[in-house]
């Protein structure tokens, strides 16, 4: 069929017109429903096939390929935040303690839907592995619910199981999707061997499991004085696992996954949480994408899993001294040590840890939030900007000493001194995180309007970094379509964290605020707060340094 | 200007004017809609995740384990490669193993290997056998170092008690021989063929990871023949028969008792502690009744961290003494040797040979990375005919440098260069240093 020239021209014009309309519309900085509270990433998709992730390939790629490149300077701001800089609820994240107070009961409960007492014997083993230092079972309890049972290493009772259940509560409170993890005390007689249970002998060899296998395996796990065994029962996540997620790029088979993972604020900010809890194993292999619902109406939810290597636990033994201090492969210290016949040594090797077999290696004295490292570079962590860190730090700030103590108690550590040490260490690490990140950016938070005044809090003062500060600000008229602003008045300075909203008839206002304190130059980085007239003024946007061009 | 160009220009101007008006009245455009639209746009171009061939292979390795991945098994028979002894060169072989024969700890293990220099080895074990390393080690890193391995492994599932029968066969056609004694000459190098088959019963007991005893006894059938290396003369052409005691010996009964105390922090990757190993053996010539002898051996290894686990001083003292029965001699091919990749590394394998041996090695090791160990070392020692005229003069020395690769659990590859008064030796060795 021959298409006339006129039709081609007309088609071109229509396409251009549509594009132009879209361009103009989307060029608006603030859309009517901003700031969104929920990212609609639950759109139905067909169930993707399971994507396997190679740990070795992940290590190589993240060590050599996915690190920030020179053309990424400056690193772009996080792309999945709303106009207030918050992370909307999504298949990745649900705002919890960062948005509302959580009760101690909620913190203790975490993601769990059951009480421990509801998980009852007999536990029918459906498969087991005997290889490795710590064995594991897949079991079905009396109610037919399926769990993965994990144990502690023989010489370190409670090390991995308590760490995992404690960290699960924290990560849940932060807002991540995590499995239901229960701490149980079971007896050997609680186990039954399923008729189809096979034991993995390693090297691909399996055979039907027999009672001597069970005894042999349980001989390699620690016992409580009363003969019971502490078990971490991880309830299998509802839905169909479709592999882990990577910390860069998007899933090519998930239409909802449109934000490159390295630019997701909750993944960048995960660095702060991971450093607090020493989750050095925060890598793709410890994530899980789960297809929720029936295809094609379901969607993918993203989980963090396996917190056995957190706090002082290295899962099968105490955490190594390197963990959290140096990547598995880091050239600079290698060359220094090689060239100096080992005389130059890593500082972290000389760190002394108190001896608590239940806790392993976890300390606060030498911990530095900025210097903390996971096992190998994480592309999202590497792109964490001060605004991302502040977002996470604000969540960390919500944890009171009492809350930390409450969460640590769920680890049921038998040794009282160990529990106390763990609580104190977490508190000190929390304080270091707060002190460090609040010193690295303008720490103004909690913006609110009240009686024609814009009020805010200085988190730095609230957390004791400084006793006072002053605030330099300037009001602007803001053109939402053009994304341009023009000053309404001169620059003013106030000693109090409150500024009067000027009389203005236009639809948008913007105020740029700098915090002045001679000890913290980073506090002077400007914050822009946008107000929209909607009957009265409402706060529609907050931008921090690094999120806009200055 | 052509008409169609004019129409295009007019429409463009109209469109430009219309856009703001349309935009202002497009109340339906929201953030949520924009995000939905972006997702709809992606939905039409979804693709299944793709893995490169390398990533696929890596995934498979991680899924089934290196062991299974490398297990090119044919009905339970799997390949091996490695060395048989110093100077054997690399070889290929096959192995078969079966566990759970009537009892979970009873196993059958058999293997055979041949190297490109036609060294041969075959082995059959049956009984309650110390668990071996994983299959990858057996496949790839097999190296018959004739070690007393009843004790020196570190496995959580290691048995306390082992009892097994063993049949071993070796054919080593190019064994170097430079003459007996500490003053043998480097240019007087010959070779010989050593072929032996042994039938042994081995028992061991370990109370814990630190303390154990072992007993090994059986029959050894030996044959010495002409060496096959074209570059060297056969020892029988090069040396007087009086310099080759035991040339005709063929059958020995033997028993070895051993004990060890092991207090290394990590036996296969030690940084502190030590191990003491002692053994006493008796070899009885059951053929000619002329070459019976006893041997006492003491091997001590210590590891001293130098202010950090990154830096370790490792020392080893090895002493061995043979005592022939009255009127008997120690066969030359069973005498202790120095030289090669394990003892006195600046000299070629089997460079020195005599009835007694003393050897000291020290290494300064440092680990710039968890998987890499560097070392400088100094070896010294000598062989000598009897302790009665032993003196420290004439100790042979070598110095060297090593690059080694390891896992957190054990050393698996070492590349070493060592220098002595007789030149430089390179060693590329699969397996650990002391």
What does each C-alpha distance from A15 to A20, A481, B15, B39 come to in angstroms?
8, 22, 11, 20
**Maximum distance among all alpha carbons in chain B?**
124
**Tell me: the pLDDT tens digits for A207-220?**
888 888 888 888 88
**Tell me: the pLDDT tens digits for A180-210?**
999 999 999 999 999 989 887 665 667 888 8
What does each C-alpha distance from B57 to A352, A477, B162 come to in angstroms?
41, 59, 38
Residue B58, chain A, CB below 8 Å: the answer is yes
What does each C-alpha distance from A310 to A160, A313, A527 come to in angstroms?
8, 5, 35
Residue B62, chain A, CB below 8 Å: the answer is yes
pLDDT of residue B185 exceeding 80, the answer is yes
Contact at CB, A34 and B27, closer than 8 angstroms: no
A509-548: buried (b, 16+ CB within 10 Å) or exposed (e) per residue? bbbbbbbebeebebbebbbbbbbbeeeebebbbbbbbbbe
User: To the nearest whole angstrom, how far is the Cα of A132 from the nearest Cα of chain B?
Assistant: 9
pLDDT of residue B145 exceeding 70, the answer is no
Q: Measure CB to CB from residue A203 to each of B55, B134, B376 and give the nearest one.
A: B134
In DSSP terms, which residues pair with B378 in a beta bridge? B362, B399
Residue A258, chain B, CB below 8 Å: the answer is yes
pLDDT of residue A136 exceeding 80, the answer is yes
Q: Measure CB to CB from residue B8 to each of A13, A258, A328 and give the nearest one.
A: A13
Q: Measure CB to CB from residue A40 to each of B4, B35, B134 and give the nearest one.
A: B35
The CATH code of the domain at A444-544 is 2.60.40
Closest CA to B341 of B241, B409, B413, B239: B413
User: What is the rounded CA–CA span in Å between residue B367 and residue A334?
Assistant: 8
pLDDT of residue B133 exceeding 60, the answer is no
Residue B35 binned pLDDT confidence (cut-offs 50, 70, 90) = very high
| Strand A123-129 relative to strand A191-202, pairing | parallel
Q: Which two tokens stand for residue A82?
A: 């709303």
For chain A, the structural domain boundaries read: 1-438, 444-544
How many beta carbons lie within 10 A of that of residue B385, not counting itself?
Answer: 16
Residue A482 binned pLDDT confidence (cut-offs 50, 70, 90) = very high
Classify residue A276 by its DSSP letter.
H
pLDDT of residue B135 exceeding 90, the answer is no
Please enumerate in sequence order all residues whose Cβ is within 8 A of that of B219, keeping only pairs 6 or more positions apart, or say none: B198, B199, B200, B251, B252, B253, B254, B286
What does each C-alpha distance from B190 to A169, A430, B117, B225, B238 come to in angstroms?
73, 72, 16, 12, 7
Residue B319 preceded by cis peptide, ω within 30: no
- pLDDT in the model for residue B89: 86
Residue B154 binned pLDDT confidence (cut-offs 50, 70, 90) = very low
Please enumerate in sequence order all residues whose Cβ is within 8 A of that of A550, keeping only pairs 6 or more positions apart, or say none: A526
Please enumerate in sequence order all residues whose Cβ is within 8 A of that of B147, keeping only pairs 6 or more positions apart, or say none: none
User: What is the rounded CA–CA span in Å between residue A331 and residue A276?
Assistant: 25
Q: Find residues 305-324 of chain B whose CB sits inside 8 Å of chain A.
A: 307-311
Residue carrying the six token digits 């650990």? B432
- pLDDT in the model for residue B434: 85
Q: Which two tokens stand for residue A126?
A: 């459906």
Classify residue A100 by its DSSP letter.
S
Contact at CB, B19 and A337, closer than 8 angstroms: no
Residue A495 binned pLDDT confidence (cut-offs 50, 70, 90) = very high
Question: How many CA atoms does the CB half-sphere of B254 hold within 13 Å?
Answer: 26
pLDDT of residue B17 exceeding 70, the answer is no
Classify residue A243 by its DSSP letter.
B
Residue A2 binned pLDDT confidence (cut-offs 50, 70, 90) = very low
What does each C-alpha distance from A51 to A54, B56, B59, B229 come to in angstroms?
10, 11, 11, 56
Q: Measure CB to CB from residue B39 to each of A36, A255, A333 and give the nearest one.
A: A255
Q: Contact, A159 vs A358, CB < 8 A? A: yes
- pLDDT in the model for residue B115: 93
In DSSP terms, which residues pair with A262 in a beta bridge? none
Q: Find residues 145-174 of chain B whose CB sits inside 8 Å of chain A.
A: 156
How many beta carbons lie within 10 A of that of residue A340, not counting itself?
Answer: 12
Measured between beta carbons, the chain B residues lying within 8 angstroms of A295 are: none
User: What is the rounded CA–CA span in Å between residue A170 and residue A178?
Assistant: 10
Q: Which two tokens stand for residue A327?
A: 């990547």
**Tell me: the pLDDT tens digits for B275-287?**
999 999 999 999 8
Q: Contact, B118 vs B228, CB < 8 A? A: yes
- pLDDT in the model for residue B22: 39
Question: How many CA atoms does the CB half-sphere of A208 hold within 13 Å?
Answer: 6
User: Among A312-321, B42-51, B81-90, whose mean pLDDT is lowest?
Assistant: B81-90
Residue A40, chain B, CB below 8 Å: the answer is yes
Residue B134 binned pLDDT confidence (cut-offs 50, 70, 90) = very low
Measured between beta carbons, the chain A residues lying within 8 angstroms of B16 are: 20
- pLDDT in the model for residue A546: 75
Please enumerate in sequence order all residues whose Cβ is within 8 A of that of A232, keeping only pairs 6 or more positions apart, or say none: A149, A150, A151, A160, A161, A164, A165, A181, A182, A183, A184, A308
User: What is the rounded CA–CA span in Å between residue B69 and residue B95?
Assistant: 16
Q: What percent of chain A has pLDDT over 90?
A: 81
Q: Contact, A243 vs A174, CB < 8 A? A: no
Element (H, E) at B315: strand B311-324
| Strand B396-406 relative to strand A527-534, pairing | unpaired
**Tell me: the pLDDT tens digits for A323-360?**
999 999 999 999 999 999 999 989 998 899 999 999 99
pLDDT of residue B25 exceeding 60, the answer is no
- pLDDT in the model for residue B148: 35
**Tell me: the pLDDT tens digits for B284-313?**
999 888 999 999 999 999 999 998 878 999
- The alpha carbon of A168 is separated from its chain's Cα centroid by a whole number of angstroms, namely 11
**Tell me: the pLDDT tens digits for B321-372?**
999 999 999 999 999 999 998 899 999 999 999 999 999 999 999 999 888 9
Residue B387 binned pLDDT confidence (cut-offs 50, 70, 90) = confident
pLDDT of residue B155 exceeding 50, the answer is no
Please enumerate in sequence order all residues whose Cβ is within 8 A of that of A299, keeping only pairs 6 or more positions apart, or say none: A41, A42, A43, A44, A45, A91, A256, A291, A292, A293
What's the pTM?
0.80
How many beta carbons lie within 10 A of that of residue A282, not counting itself?
Answer: 25
- pLDDT in the model for residue A15: 42
Average pLDDT (A448-473) is 96
User: What is the rounded CA–CA span in Å between residue B359 and residue B337?
Assistant: 10
- The C-alpha angle B405, B411, B417, rounded to 5 degrees, equals 60
Residue A129, chain B, CB below 8 Å: the answer is no
**Tell me: the pLDDT tens digits for A520-538?**
999 999 999 999 998 899 9
Q: Chain A to chain B, count of Cβ pairs less than 8 Å apart? A: 169
Q: Contact, A241 vs A288, CB < 8 A? A: yes
pLDDT of residue B8 exceeding 70, the answer is no
Q: Measure CB to CB from residue B366 to each of A33, A328, A342 and give the nearest one.
A: A342
Average pLDDT (B240-263) is 88
Residue A253 binned pLDDT confidence (cut-offs 50, 70, 90) = very high
- pLDDT in the model for residue A8: 46
- pLDDT in the model for residue B28: 54
**Tell me: the pLDDT tens digits for B39-71?**
999 999 899 888 888 888 888 777 666 555 555
Measured between beta carbons, the chain A residues lying within 8 angstroms of B310 are: 337, 342, 345-346, 349
- pLDDT in the model for residue A476: 97
What does each C-alpha distance from B418 to A193, B346, B347, B429 come to in angstroms?
57, 5, 8, 13
φ and ψ at residue B269, rounded to 5 degrees = -155, 65
- pLDDT in the model for residue B156: 41
Residue A338, chain B, CB below 8 Å: the answer is yes
User: Among A133-137, A390-394, A510-514, B7-11, whose mean pLDDT is lowest?
Assistant: B7-11
User: What is the rounded CA–CA span in Å between residue A422 and residue A407?
Assistant: 11
How many beta carbons lie within 10 A of that of residue A81, not counting itself?
Answer: 24
Contact at CB, A54 and B12, closer than 8 angstroms: no
What does each C-alpha distance from B38 to A41, B33, B44 come to in angstroms?
11, 9, 11
Average pLDDT (B139-147) is 33
Residue B137 binned pLDDT confidence (cut-offs 50, 70, 90) = very low
Residue B413 binned pLDDT confidence (cut-offs 50, 70, 90) = confident
Question: How many CA atoms does the CB half-sphere of A227 hold within 13 Å?
Answer: 4
- pLDDT in the model for residue A148: 93
Please enumerate in sequence order all residues whose Cβ is within 8 A of that of A442, keeping only pairs 6 or more positions apart, or say none: A513, A514, A515, A522, A523, A524, A525, A526, A527, A544, A545
Average pLDDT (B148-173) is 68
Q: Which two tokens stand for residue A398?
A: 């919500």
């Amino acid at each position: 069929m021959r298409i006339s020239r006129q039709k081609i021209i007309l088609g071109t014009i229509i396409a251009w017109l549509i594009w132009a309309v879209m361009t103009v519309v989307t060029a608006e900085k603030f859309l009517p429903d901003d700031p969104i509270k929920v990212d609609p990433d639950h759109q139905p998709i067909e169930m993707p096939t399971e994507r396997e992730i190679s740990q070795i390939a992940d290590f190589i790629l993240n060590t050599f390929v996915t690190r920030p490149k020179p053309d990424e300077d400056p690193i772009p701001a996080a792309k999945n935040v709303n106009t207030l800089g918050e992370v909307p609820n999504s298949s990745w994240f649900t705002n919890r303690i960062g948005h509302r107070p959580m009760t101690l009961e909620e913190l203790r409960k975490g993601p769990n839907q059951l009480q421990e007492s509801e998980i009852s014997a007999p536990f029918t083993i459906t498969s087991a592995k005997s290889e490795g230092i710590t064995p594991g079972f897949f079991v079905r309890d009396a109610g037919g619910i399926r769990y993965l049972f994990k144990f502690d290493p023989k010489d370190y009772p409670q090390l991995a199981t308590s760490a995992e259940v404690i960290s699960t509560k924290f990560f849940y409170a932060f807002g991540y999707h995590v499995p239901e993890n229960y701490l149980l005390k079971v007896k050997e007689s609680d186990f039954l061997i399923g008729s189809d249970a096979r034991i993995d002998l390693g090297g691909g060899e399996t055979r039907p499991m027999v009672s001597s296998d069970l005894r042999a395996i349980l001989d390699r796990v620690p016992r409580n004085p009363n003969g019971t065994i502490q078990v971490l029962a991880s309830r299998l996540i509802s839905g169909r696992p479709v592999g882990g997620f990577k910390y860069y790029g998007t899933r090519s088979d998930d239409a909802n996954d449109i934000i490159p993972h390295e630019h997701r604020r909750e993944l960048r900010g995960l660095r702060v949480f991971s450093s607090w809890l020493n989750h050095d194993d925060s890598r793709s292999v410890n994530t899980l994408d789960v297809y929720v619902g029936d295809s094609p109406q379901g969607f993918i939810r993203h989980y963090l899993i396996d917190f056995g290597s957190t706090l002082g636990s290295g899962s099968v033994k105490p955490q190594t001294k390197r963990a959290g201090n140096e990547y598995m492969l880091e050239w600079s210290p290698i060359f220094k040590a090689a060239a100096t016949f080992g005389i130059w040594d890593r500082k972290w090797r000389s760190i002394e840890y108190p001896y608590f077999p239940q806790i392993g290696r976890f300390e606060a004295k030498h911990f530095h939030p900025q210097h903390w490292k996971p096992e190998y570079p994480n592309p999202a962590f590497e792109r964490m900007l001060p605004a991302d860190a502040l977002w996470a730090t604000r969540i960390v700030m919500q944890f009171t000493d009492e809350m930390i103590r409450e969460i640590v108690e769920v680890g049921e550590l038998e040794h009282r001194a160990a529990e106390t040490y763990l609580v104190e260490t977490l508190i000190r690490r929390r304080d270091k995180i707060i002190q460090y990140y609040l010193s690295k950016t303008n720490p103004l938070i909690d913006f609110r309007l009240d009686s024609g005044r814009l009020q805010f809090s200085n988190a730095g003062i609230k957390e004791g970094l400084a006793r006072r500060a002053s605030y330099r600000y300037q009001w602007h008229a803001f053109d939402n379509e053009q994304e341009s602003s023009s000053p309404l008045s001169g620059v003013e300075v106030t000693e109090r964290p409150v500024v009067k909203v000027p009389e203005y008839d236009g639809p948008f206002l913007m105020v740029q605020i700098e915090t002045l304190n001679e000890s913290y130059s980073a506090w002077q980085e400007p914050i822009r707060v946008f107000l929209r007239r909607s009957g009265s003024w409402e706060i529609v946007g907050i931008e921090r340094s690094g999120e806009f061009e200055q | 200007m052509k008409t169609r160009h004019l129409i295009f220009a007019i429409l463009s101007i109209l469109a430009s004017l219309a856009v703001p008006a349309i935009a202002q009245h497009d109340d339906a455009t929201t953030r949520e809609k924009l995000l939905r639209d972006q997702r709809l746009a992606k939905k039409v171009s979804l693709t299944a995740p793709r893995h490169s061939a390398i990533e696929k292979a890596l995934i498979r390795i991680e899924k089934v384990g290196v062991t299974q991945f490398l297990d090119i098994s044919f009905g339970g028979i799997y390949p091996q490669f490695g060395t048989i002894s110093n100077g054997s060169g690399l070889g290929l072989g096959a192995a078969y193993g079966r566990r759970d024969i009537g009892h979970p700890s009873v196993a059958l293990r058999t293997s055979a290997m041949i190297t490109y220099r036609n060294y041969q080895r075959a082995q059959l074990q049956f009984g309650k056998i110390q668990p071996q390393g994983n299959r990858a080690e057996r496949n790839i890193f097999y190296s018959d170092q004739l070690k007393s391995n009843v004790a020196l492994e570190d496995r959580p599932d290691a048995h306390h008690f082992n009892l097994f029968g063993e049949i071993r066969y070796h054919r080593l056609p190019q064994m170097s021989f430079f003459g007996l004694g500490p003053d043998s000459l480097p240019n007087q190098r010959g070779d010989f063929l050593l072929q032996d088959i042994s039938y042994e019963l081995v028992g061991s007991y370990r109370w814990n990871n630190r303390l154990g005893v072992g007993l090994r006894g059986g029959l050894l059938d030996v044959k010495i023949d002409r060496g096959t290396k074209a570059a060297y003369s056969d020892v029988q052409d090069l040396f007087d028969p009086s310099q080759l005691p035991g040339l005709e010996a063929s059958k020995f009964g033997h028993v070895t008792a051993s004990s060890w105390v092991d207090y290394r922090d990590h036996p296969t990757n030690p940084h502190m502690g030590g191990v003491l190993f002692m053994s006493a053996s008796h070899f009885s010539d059951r053929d000619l009744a002329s070459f019976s002898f006893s041997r006492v051996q003491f091997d001590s290894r210590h590891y001293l961290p130098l202010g950090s686990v990154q830096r370790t001083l490792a020392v080893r003292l090895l002493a061995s003494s043979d005592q022939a029965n009255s009127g008997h001699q120690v066969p030359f091919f069973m005498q202790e040797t120095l030289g090669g990749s394990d003892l006195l590394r600046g000299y070629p394998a089997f460079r020195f040979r005599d009835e007694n041996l003393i050897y000291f090695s020290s290494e300064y090791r440092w680990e710039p990375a968890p998987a890499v160990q560097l070392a400088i070392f100094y070896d010294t020692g000598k062989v000598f005919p009897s302790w009665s005229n032993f003196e420290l003069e004439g100790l042979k020395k070598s110095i060297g440098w090593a690059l080694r690769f390891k896992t957190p659990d054990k050393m698996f590859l070492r590349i070493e260069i060592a220098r002595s008064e007789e030149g430089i030796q390179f060693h590329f060795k699969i397996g650990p240093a002391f």
